[in-house]
Structure 1
Amino acid sequence: MFTRIRMVVLATNAEGSPDLFLTTVDATGTQYEHGRHYDMALPRARDEGYETPMIAFDQYDAAARMLRRAATFIEGGDAATGN
């Protein structure tokens, strides 16, 4: 059985700027437990023209929670409270 997992890859785009690549992967429980879903997301970003350095994270990782806080911060809110 496969589970669809939302993934974000932080990478360098074709212009050399930091960027986020968004994708989903379908992984089995075993693949997820062994971190293979990260290995699935990175080549997709490469195929779309993104370059290293790259790091992938999924919707459950601490980085995803921080991304939500970062969006609040960028928009001028208080990242600590989410307001």
Structure 2
Amino acid sequence: MVCKKLGITHAYLCSIVKKSTGNTCMSIISGMVIMNAKSQLELYQSSVTAISDSLNFADISLLGKYFKRYAWNDPFRYRNKG
């Protein structure tokens, strides 16, 4: 959608982002999703299911897998870390 509005291809956008930041589009997006998830886990008492819903994951298990992949931890353990 962003590419369409800018009138460029997805590949071109990704190459510009990579050249400008040194990071891939996916790593930037993943970092933002994880930051959002971490802040919700730290600041709010919402259930992990509610957080999963707010981040548009299909279900809690997908959030768990995503969180483990990019944050190297389980969302429940992250919340209870102290």
When the two structures are superposed, what TM-score results if normalisation uses the length of structure 2?
A: 0.31
Question: Is the helix fraction higher in 1 or 2?
Answer: 2
Q: Report the structure, 1 or 2, having the larger strand content.
A: 1
Structure with greater Cα Rg: 2
Q: TM-score, normalised by structure 1?
A: 0.31
Q: Which has the higher contact order (CA 8 A, sep 6+)?
A: 1
